[in-house]
Amino acid sequence: MPSASRVQHELARIQTFFPALTALGNRFAAERPFDGLTLGLNMHLTTLTAALVRELQLGGGRFVVAAANPATTDGGVVEYLRDIGVEVHPGTGRSDAQSPVIAAAPDLVGDVGFALGEAMIAAGTRPKHGLVEITGTGVARLRAREPLPFPVLNINDGRLKKAIENRHGVGEGLWSAYTTLTGQHLGGRRVRVIGYGRVGAGVAGYAKAGGAVVEVVDTDPVRRLIARFDGHVPIDPGAVTRPQVVVTASGTRHALSVADIGKLPDDTVLINAGHHPDEIDVPGLAAEATEVDHIGPRVVRYRHPKGGHVVVLGGGSPLNIVMNAGSNEPVLLHFTLLALGMRWLLQAERPNGENKLPAVLEQEVARLWLPGA
């Protein structure tokens, strides 16, 4: 299918199954909050972003968009956005797409990773009404740049992202990626989850719902107790059990070391759900392994120096992201928060620096996604 019509089909699907986006667009069409303004966006150019920009555009204004990363840029989306009158700069590297957006002097910015924000500071310019930052990485970067010369709304640290995207988005996506790569069903499998924060709780909960028996390791005994009340088997760090699948979700480097791997049963499947690609010490394992077999794309089997084998999925990077797995809904929900956050920045003069997410915005998002409930 030609990419433009593929994108049209995708957008029709998103519009059909996620009416909250249409409701948002209708609201913006009535209010026209962006009339007379230039809006700069730095985002991954996926069909989900195209769906967001289409609704934002109904609120008026001129849109100038940079690709956050050429590796995540969908050429069909670039074509589509240009067709609807958006200026798009795909770029060839991580930063050259941003220069034309800065040259357009945006009044208001939506950013991923604070890349556009940092580039504007370096260029000595500022978005008059401020910037909305979507990601945790971006929040860490902007905090390191304080004091900031413009207001920033942090939409990463709200209640919804942690409760929905971290828990349900990762939990669902990780197991669908596992099934795609292995063909295995979860029913009756023994799964160990290392780290029982939001991500680990989601991974454990979706495994249990799929019929797995889940054991949970956490260095924090309180989290282990919570895991027990959620219906999982808490085990002490260092306890030797016989899992068939181990998932790390701790945010800690080497939460699963080469020595830990040596204690696992033969052919245990290892998966990471945490942000850092070295939660499982895959480089250490690769260096010490006595055999390495590339079974298929993103599936590698290692023979541990102690004799047994393990199979690593996705090279130890977060598997749901590597496989782009899981439903669109948590991301689209976060995008509606971005849209309402941009409008919020326009409603009053906000103080320079990080602005915490006001509860009313998340309540508005919840009402949009729960019409009549």
Ligand X SMILES: NC(=O)c1ccc[n+]([C@@H]2O[C@H](COP(=O)([O-])OP(=O)(O)OC[C@H]3O[C@@H](n4cnc5c(N)ncnc54)[C@H](O)[C@@H]3O)[C@@H](O)[C@H]2O)c1
Nearer to ligand X, 73 or 248 (CB): 248
Considering the complex, state which of residue 97 and residue 338 has its C-beta at the smaller distance from ligand X.
338
Q: Which CB, 76 or 314, lies closer to ligand X?
A: 314
- Helical spans, DSSP H, in the chain: 3-17, 19-31, 47-57, 75-83, 98-103, 115-122, 136-144, 159-160, 170-182, 198-209, 221-229, 258-261, 282-288, 319-322, 329-347, 359-369
Cα 34 to Cα 162, 193, 317, 333, distances in angstroms: 29, 46, 39, 21
Place of tokens 């249409």: 22
Burial 194-204 (b: 16+ CB within 10 A, else e): bbbbbbbbbbb
Q: Which of 312, 332, 212 is nearest to 264 (CA)?
A: 312
| Amino acid of residue 70 | P
Tell me which residues touch ligand X (CB under 6 A): 166, 170, 194-200, 217-220, 223, 237, 249-252, 255, 273-276, 318, 320-321
Residues 237 and 217: beta-carbon distance below 8 Å: yes
**Tokens for 17?**
């199954």
Other C-beta atoms within 10 Å of 187: how many? 9
Q: Identify whether the C-beta of residue 362 lies closer than 8 Å to the C-beta of residue 159.
A: yes
Nearest-approach distance from CB 280 to ligand X, in angstroms: 11
Judged by beta carbon, residue 197 or residue 210, the one nearer ligand X is 197
Give the shortest CB-151-to-ligand X separation in angstroms. 25
SS3 content of the chain, % helix, strand, coil (to 5): 45, 20, 35
Cα(38)–Cα(106) distance, integer angstroms: 5
Structure tokens at 237: 């760090």
The CB-nearest residue to ligand X is 197
Q: How far is the CB of 358 from ligand X (least distance, A)?
A: 22
In the complex, minimum distance from the CB of residue 220 to ligand X, in angstroms, rounded to a whole number: 4
Q: How far is the CB of 157 from ligand X (least distance, A)?
A: 11
Q: Which is nearer to ligand X, 106 or 318 (CB)?
A: 318
Q: Are 191 and 209 in contact (CB under 8 A)?
A: no
Shortest Å distance, C-beta 205 to ligand X: 12
Q: Which is nearer to ligand X, 56 or 246 (CB)?
A: 246
Closer by beta carbon to ligand X, 272 or else 355: 272
Could you tell me the smallest distance in angstroms from the CB atom of residue 372 to ligand X? 30
* Nearer to ligand X (CB atom), residue 63 or residue 196: 196
- Closest contact distance (angstroms) between CB of 256 and ligand X is 8
